[in-house]
A = this chain, B = another copy of it.
Amino acid sequence: MIQNLTEHDREHLQEALVKSGQKVTPQREAVFTVLLAQRDHPTVDEVFNRAREVMPGLSLATVYNCLETFVGCGLVRQVNHERESTRYCPNLAPHAHFRDKATGRVHDIELPPEVLKSLRSILPPGFDSEVIEISFHGRAQSGEQTSN
């Protein structure tokens, strides 16, 4: 079910970790593997449960730690919607999120550079933004798949 990391993905992980002074550990590999295996914006709990199939001793706290580390070195993004549990997303390209009212599922929506630019342009002078979060909430006709 959960494939091992490809050589390429393992290198990606290692490079990002080492670059920010962190180590590659079996737990981090497991968590990262889980994230890449099913890109459906899982919650911490979901990651935890999936990862335990592969590494039964893994603890919840470690999953929190790993994910925090990944966010810190830019490997994954957090996705928050209202006050629901934080979800995690390994899609690094600039994108927005669409949350389906009916299913709760989160879809990635590609964000063209010109739209991003027009968004930035609405900031008054003096405001300098590093992060822009865009999230839609509504209905997606079933069958739509955009979970990159």
Contact = CB atoms under 8 A, between A and B. Distances in A.
B144 A138 contact: no
A7 interface: no
B111 A127 contact: no
Nearest to A143: B126
Given A110-B122, A127-B98, A135 B137 contact: no
Given A131-B137, A132-B136, A134-B133, A119 B119 contact: yes
Interface of A: 78, 80, 82-83, 86, 96, 98, 107, 109-112, 114-115, 118-119, 121-124, 126-141, 143-144, 146
Contact of A138 (B86, B111, B127): B127
A96 B96 CA distance: 14
B131 A133 contact: no
Instruction: Identify the interface centre among A107, A115, A123, A129: most chain B CB within 10 Å of its CB.
Output: A129
